Amino acid sequence: MRMTPQRPAPQPHDSSQDPLSASSASQDWPSATPAGQDWPSAPAGQDWPSAPPAGQDWSNVSASGPHHLKTPLASSAYRTPQSGLSAPGKSYAVAWALSLFLGVWGVDRFYLGRWKTGLLKLITMGGFFVWYLIDLVLLLTGTVRDAKGRPLQQFETAKWPSRVISAVAVASVFALFALAGSIDTPTPPEPESQVAAPAAEAKDLQAPVEETAEPVEDPTTEAAPTTTNAPDPTPTTTEPAPTTDAVIAADGTALAMLAGLEEKGRAPKTDYDRDSFGWRNDVDHNGCDTRNDILRRDLEDITLKGGTKGCVVQLGTLESPYSGDSVAFDRDDNSIDIDHVVALSDAWQTGAFAWDETTRAAFANDPLNLLAVESSLNRQKSDSDAASWLPPKKDYRCEYVGRQIAVKDKYDLWVKPAEADAMEGVLADCDGFAAIADDDTLLWPAAGEGDVIATREEPAPAPSPEPEPAPAPKPAKATTPSSSSGSSSGSRSGSSSEGSGSSSGGSVYYKNCDAARAAGAAPVHSGDPGYAKHLDRDGDGVGCE
């Protein structure tokens, strides 16, 4: 007997188990089948519906579900799940490159859409480089977002290369800053337009020329200098170099001695009198005045005047320290003066006003402060200090200023501010010029010594003719008393007239050398009308020389 298989009875369809059910559109797909059940397979000869043709909606497609049930496919059942994140942000590689190379100007911020912070970063030069470094670190750690809060793309792939390159770049920046901070920037020299400022300041401090112009340091000469070189140089104004902090005053230098001098303004010139200094006195009692002592020290090829005990210089040659010229000297046609390196008037206004007579005479006749120079340059200098006059010969200026400093240091004279600046400017170019010592090398030679090559004897002056004796008076005639009275009266009248004539015919007298020069009689030789001992202080037989 043939058995026929029995078909199971149809089971009622559970819509909750059908993934294609319309009601399942509002539910999530189950992660697994219910216990003991399998997902139904497609019936024999049928397949599950595939995706609809292009342009066709799922809502028009139906499929045979389990048990041959045709269920419409709801569009919500196959809708792609929606994500809560928006589209990816800017490229990490681009943002990192802009931050590394252009971050100081905020270009990385502009790229990310952060315009406000980018503009602020641009104005502050990357927050003075601090903000620049912070942004670079934030990029390397992946914490930077664009303006919409989106993370940057490709962070993981570019992270390690960017960290290595950034570390090298940041280390280089710090190394450059450290190197720049360790290098001392040299101070540039001031322009030459400011060089003449000390001289201008000195001129402002001085009174007008009419009131303060000092007579020539040695006013005993009138003749123009006779030189073997060029004519007299033109006036030289001071152009000292500017003072700088780099000038170091080493011990034993003129600059160190200058630093030890007191600095303050000029004192009044009230009561100044050149004669109060006793210039040309025989302070060392060698029988010679100071002028001839300095001439024997500074001149070459000297010819002394005979009969003066080796004191008076008649001829010689001077190698001028102020100009470098060779100047011929002749006592009868004088062209050489003795210059006070620190002028007497300048000394008076920087402390000498308080000295006693002995100190002033020692200062005026100190060989440290005396130089034989051309008369023209001595008049040109007058009573100027280093701020307003320097020798035309530039390579002598260091010694000239050094000697002025040594004199002021010896006699405790102060320096004026403009004068100190000018001195420091000159010494700055002298490469540690040593302070001038007040030693025996500056002393003058003894009488009759020096670079003497000859002595010229002067002929004895012709004796002056003796005055003729006055004629003897005529004997009085005998007269009557009345006549006698008249004769006596006439005799007295004649006697008075004779005495008057004798007085008017007396010798010439000059009160001083100025009067002799005014009369054109200087120099006055012994035996000449008007010669007197008060005009010839050195006793060499020639007054007002």
* pLDDT single digits (tens) 159-209: 667 667 777 777 776 677 676 666 655 445 444 444 444 444 444 444 443
Once rounded to an integer, what is the mean pLDDT over residues 218-242? 45
Clarify whether residues 376 and 407 are in a common domain. yes
Clarify whether residues 298 and 174 are in a common domain. no
Q: Give the separation between CA 488 and CA 531, rounded to whole angstroms.
A: 41
* Helix/strand/coil for 319: strand
Q: How many whole angstroms from its chain centre is CA 113?
A: 53
Amino acid identity, position 449: E
The region, left, alpha or beta by phi > 0 then psi within -120 to 50, assigned to residue 541 is left
Clarify whether residues 346 and 215 are in a common domain. yes
Clarify whether residues 209 and 275 are in a common domain. yes
**Residue 272 is encoded by which pair of tokens?**
């100044």
Give a yes or no: residue 228 inside a domain: yes
| pLDDT higher than 50, residue 127 | yes
Bond before 523 cis per omega within 30 degrees? yes
Clarify whether residues 167 and 211 are in a common domain. no
Q: Give the separation between CA 201 and CA 199, rounded to whole angstroms.
A: 5
Clarify whether residues 173 and 278 are in a common domain. no
Give a yes or no: residue 188 inside a domain: no
In angstroms, the Cα distances linking 206 to 210, 238, 419 are 11, 15, 12
Q: Of 152, 180, 208, which residue constitutes the final position of a domain?
A: 180
Give a yes or no: residue 495 inside a domain: no
- Contact at 8 Å (CB) between 154 and 97? no
Clarify whether residues 211 and 279 are in a common domain. yes
Cβ count within 10 A of residue 102: 15
Clarify whether residues 169 and 109 are in a common domain. yes
The region, left, alpha or beta by phi > 0 then psi within -120 to 50, assigned to residue 448 is left
Q: Of 180, 208, 234, which residue constitutes the final position of a domain?
A: 180
Which residue has better confidence, 322 or 482?
Answer: 322
| pLDDT higher than 50, residue 15 | no
Which residue has better confidence, 520 or 287?
Answer: 287
Q: Give the pLDDT band (50/70/90) at residue 491.
A: very low
Amino acid identity, position 65: G
Strand order in the sheet with 326-330: 226-227, 326-330, 313-319, 300-305, 452-456
In this structure, the strands spanning 452-456 and 300-305 are parallel
**Residue 18 is encoded by which pair of tokens?**
């059908």
Give a yes or no: residue 420 inside a domain: yes
Q: Of 133, 155, 180, which residue constitutes the final position of a domain?
A: 180
Give a yes or no: residue 43 inside a domain: no
In this structure, the strands spanning 62-65 and 69-72 are antiparallel
Residue 25: HSE in the Cβ half-sphere, 13 Å Cα cutoff: 13
Clarify whether residues 150 and 211 are in a common domain. no
- Helix extents (H) in 112-214: 115-123, 125-128, 130-141, 155-182, 197-205, 209-212
Bond before 233 cis per omega within 30 degrees? no
Write the pLDDT tens digit of every residue in 281-326: 888 888 899 999 999 999 999 999 998 889 999 999 999 999 999 9
Give a yes or no: residue 480 inside a domain: no
Of the candidates 379, 386, 396, the residue with the CA atom closest to the CA atom of residue 436: 396
Tell me the backbone φ, ψ of residue 291, rounded to 5 degrees. -60, -50
Once rounded to an integer, what is the mean pLDDT over residues 269-274? 92
Clarify whether residues 237 and 366 are in a common domain. yes
What contacts 257, CB < 8 A, 6 or more positions away? Answer: 405, 406, 409, 435
In the DSSP assignment, the letter for residue 473 is P
- Contact at 8 Å (CB) between 405 and 257? yes
pTM: 0.44
Domain containing 511 equals: 506-545
Q: Give the separation between CA 21 and CA 14, rounded to whole angstroms.
A: 10
Give a yes or no: residue 208 inside a domain: yes
Tell me the backbone φ, ψ of residue 397, rounded to 5 degrees. -65, -35
**Residue 231 is encoded by which pair of tokens?**
């004519």
Q: Which of 91-95, 189-193, 411-415, 436-440 has the lowest mean pLDDT?
A: 189-193
Of the candidates 290, 450, 422, the residue with the CA atom closest to the CA atom of residue 363: 290
Of the candidates 201, 357, 197, the residue with the CA atom closest to the CA atom of residue 277: 357
Write the pLDDT tens digit of every residue in 493-519: 444 433 333 333 346 788 888 888 778
In the DSSP assignment, the letter for residue 68 is G
Clarify whether residues 261 and 140 are in a common domain. no
Per-residue model confidence (pLDDT) at position 152:
77
* CA Rg value for the chain: 58
**Residue 351 is encoded by which pair of tokens?**
């402390």
Helix or strand run (H / E) with residue 338:
strand 336-340
| pLDDT higher than 70, residue 211 | no
User: Can you tell me which residue has the tokens 């009601």?
Assistant: 23
Clarify whether residues 240 and 326 are in a common domain. yes
* Helix/strand/coil for 92: helix
**Residue 135 is encoded by which pair of tokens?**
């942004």
In angstroms, the Cα distances linking 64 to 20, 22, 248, 316, 375 are 10, 14, 109, 147, 139
Q: Give the pLDDT band (50/70/90) at residue 531.
A: confident
Per-residue model confidence (pLDDT) at position 12:
52
Amino acid identity, position 475: P
What contacts 189, CB < 8 A, 6 or more positions away? Answer: 242, 244
Counted domains in the chain = 3
Which residue has better confidence, 293 or 537?
Answer: 293
The region, left, alpha or beta by phi > 0 then psi within -120 to 50, assigned to residue 148 is alpha
Write the pLDDT tens digit of every residue in 360-415: 999 999 999 999 999 999 999 999 999 999 999 999 999 999 999 999 999 999 99
What contacts 247, CB < 8 A, 6 or more positions away? Answer: 255, 424, 427, 428
- Contact at 8 Å (CB) between 530 and 510? yes
Give a yes or no: residue 465 inside a domain: no
Q: Give the separation between CA 450 and CA 21, rounded to whole angstroms.
A: 141
| Share above pLDDT 90 across residues of the chain, in percent, rounded to a whole number | 29
User: Can you tell me which residue has the tokens 């005014």?
Assistant: 518
